[in-house]
Amino acid sequence: METVYINSPLGITKIIGDDNGISVISVSDVGTNEISETIPEILKDAVFQLNEYFEGKRTDFNLKLNPKGTEFQQKVWKTLLEIPYGKTVSYMDQTKKLGDVKAIRAVASANGKNPLWIVVPCHRVIGTNGSLTGYAGEIWRKKWLLEHESPTSQQSLF
């Protein structure tokens, strides 16, 4: 496993991966980790694509992913990959897509355990009433990401 720490507009981004794919992309507050001086070869494409995303030049990712999670979590994360850039769905919409409306809390919990920040876009899932409910990366980051993905709106979405 290789690890790299890069600067992003939302804090220090940690990327972990190996030949099997990227297993972790996470963010923390500035100053909690040191920025890497070199980028391991296996992680260069992930760094490049994330930088393009933050520059507004990328709307989807083409990375080999290898997140660790239960079978249920993997199913939930797969539905996240189907949410288009600039769009949102509710937790209920996501739960319905998985076929069991009673599983809404389990779906929300799986979203919260998503190990691949931004690339598996759990930030695109909102409350049924349109609220920015629940986000492991803190609500202000979710708001920033959704506004970043909707550059055509002249005013804040929220």
- How many angstroms separate the CA atoms of 116 and 25, rounded? 5
Q: What is the tens place of the pLDDT at every residue in 79-90?
A: 999 999 999 999
- How many angstroms separate the CA atoms of 129 and 16, rounded? 35
Rounded to the nearest 10 degrees, what angle do helices 104-112 and 71-80 cross at? 80
Q: What is the tens place of the pLDDT at every residue in 92-125?
A: 999 999 999 899 999 999 999 999 999 999 999 9
For the domain made up of 71-148, the CATH class stated in words is mainly alpha
Q: In what order do the strands lie in the sheet with 11-18?
A: 2-8, 11-18, 21-28
Residues carrying an active site annotation: 122
Instruction: Please calculate the CA angle 19-24-30 and round it to the nearest 5 degrees.
Output: 130
| pTM, 2 dp | 0.89
